[in-house]
A and B are shown apart, each in its own frame.
Chain A
């Protein structure tokens, strides 16, 4: 265990030196900040836009880190031949794979944590700087319908924003550690599920990089992600095809091929849609009129499915890596 941890920490140290990571992080933060600004344009519920964009950014940029940083990690060790001195040490090759996986996962999760804090801060700040709230803070109602400013309104306006900014960052940090307000209720669960989905993608990035080049691994990982995210839709499409033809037995030619492709894909590729709880959290179930807060119950079946999937892919990666000759 100590050896796996040592490799994981070294992988993390290596990954945080990758400049791509910072570009991705900065870009993600920009998008979230921007979502706070354009949320004013939203007619009904500004926080929905922030939530939707923010949660999507956390998930998508986590995925990009897995691809762009992940596919190089194993390759660099082979390319620079540092693997020579690693495999000659008293460790098993699967420990190396596990170390790489956890190192990459730590990198992704640390980034997700930073993005989440920022996301919550934007959310809290936007909420606290709502026009009504700002006005209430800098004007006092002396008589019904009569208001007078508290001190210099301009100074008060900026002071209020500064104060709210600091509070929002503080609350943002608290939120990732379990604090929640109605506006951020259950969002950590959504991010948690996202993190589990990313663990699957990470394990695939590691799997592919045990036997192919970084470019190919990136392509494979990307395709896995796309098919995985869409596989419920693909299956639905296949069922529709069968329905239209009046049963599977009536399908012929390309339609039959499509049907079986969907069936096979569904059972091989991870169903990443299970880990996407964003719509549920932001907009609620389809059939219910939308209040602002939605309950997102923890989906234990998906959690177990995710963990089993990760373990399976890592086993496969170890098996391939075990047989490799390092030229």
Chain B
């Protein structure tokens, strides 16, 4: 079953006729901004799917359309093979918006209880589930009785995640779940996402933290300027070829160093050792031969493949060829 499917999804924002900007009146007759331009996406069951793109690419717009917060200008989208807005489907979705803000006068527990009621969960189920969730998302013991006003940004993100998991959803949609978190917090979110996958849930999230996305995603889609740039499994998108080798050695003779320096793409002599980046396999073999011959020591040898970040930057740059803002 396709969990999410969009076809030619587009969103065009029409500006207000008159805007007041920095105390000046600005007229925007018929000015429009294309936020999303014919996006086709497919997300299968049980996947961790990453929606990646630079700021303003249309990631949040896509998620807002899927969550029924805004309506598409054209195109269609279906979740769990039902049209958007279907209440039965909504009951099986958990959603965490970007930089979430909640009712700061409610205590952690009251807040989750309120949202539990919106899911139509009976009181006993809510009680049990809320206790589980506080533990799952790793909130401290005093969190349930602390008003959200007193929560730190990381805690808000966690309780936001907790509200998204209240209904034990089949599909979890997270908009920039890692923004504003420290490295430890980011790792915990990654672990939670992986655990959700183990439980058979589908996770659809947007991110611009590519290293994290690379670690956990089964499939990704890259969007830029409202258009799909690439979509597929990471292993297919990224070239499996080794791009270069990173070699660290110590105790090589001056002569060998001079020879290698000439051919290396990057060559850094450090206090104890030398780091070189070599592009050809022959050069690596040559370096190894010299290390053995001179009885020098090899500290490390790492083959490097293309990273998602490099792929992303290349693809985004390719599609960034100037496109006029649409004026009708």
Q: Which residues of A contact B (CB under 8 A)?
A: 2-3, 5-7, 10, 13-14, 17, 80-92, 323, 325-327
Contacts and interface: CB of A to CB of B under 8 A. Distances in A.
A68 B288 CA distance: 79
A85 B100 contact: yes
A85 B95 contact: yes
B70 interface: yes
A89 B114 contact: no
A6 B117 CA distance: 6
Interface of B: 13, 64, 67-71, 87-88, 90-91, 93, 95-97, 100-103, 105-106, 114-115, 117-120, 160, 163
Given A13-B105, A80-B101, A85-B163, 4 more contacts: A6-B114, A81-B101, A88-B67, A91-B87
Contacts of A87: 67-69
A13 B110 CA distance: 11
A88 B119 CA distance: 10
Contacts of A7: 118
Contacts of B117: 2-3, 5-6
Closest 5 CB pairs of A and B: A6-B117, A325-B70, A90-B90, A90-B91, A88-B67
A89 B105 contact: no
Contacts of B93: 88
A85 B115 contact: yes
B69 A6 contact: no
B119 A89 contact: yes
Given A82-B101, A87-B69, A3 B163 contact: no
A326 B70 contact: yes
Contacts, number: 74
B100 A10 contact: no
A326 B13 CA distance: 12
A83 B97 CA distance: 10
17 contacts: A6-B118, A13-B105, A13-B106, A17-B105, A81-B97, A82-B102, A87-B68, A88-B68, A88-B93, A90-B87, A90-B90, A91-B87, A91-B118, A325-B71, A326-B69, A326-B70, A327-B70
Contacts of B118: 3, 6-7, 86, 89-91
Contacts of B114: 6, 10
A146 B257 CA distance: 129
Contacts of B69: 83-84, 87-88, 325-326
B103 A10 contact: yes
Contacts of B68: 87-88
Nearest to A10: B114
B125 to A, nearest CB: 13
A85 B97 contact: yes
A7 B103 CA distance: 12
Contacts of A2: 117, 120
B106 to A, nearest CB: 7
A87 B85 CA distance: 9
B54 to A, nearest CB: 20
A14 B67 contact: no
Given A90-B87, A326-B70, A82 B115 contact: no
Contacts of A325: 69-71
Contact of A89 (B64, B97, B102, B115): B115
Contacts of A6: 114, 117-118
Pick the most buried of A3, A17, A85, A92: most chain B CB atoms within 10 A of its CB: A85
B1 to A, nearest CB: 19
Contacts of A10: 103, 106, 114
B39 to A, nearest CB: 17
Contacts of A323: 71
Nearest to B164: A85
A261 to B, nearest CB: 27
B190 to A, nearest CB: 22
Contacts of A86: 118
Pick the most buried of A17, A82, A87, A89: most chain B CB atoms within 10 A of its CB: A89
Contacts of B101: 80-82
A88 B71 contact: no
A109 B91 CA distance: 33
A86 B114 CA distance: 10
B19 to A, nearest CB: 13
B195 to A, nearest CB: 22
A81 B98 CA distance: 10
Contacts of B13: 327
A3 B119 CA distance: 8
A88 B95 contact: yes
B87 A92 contact: yes
Nearest to B65: A325
Nearest to A9: B114
Given A88-B68, A90-B87, A3 B120 contact: yes
Nearest to A81: B101
Nearest to A92: B87
Pick the most buried of B13, B67, B69: most chain A CB atoms within 10 A of its CB: B69
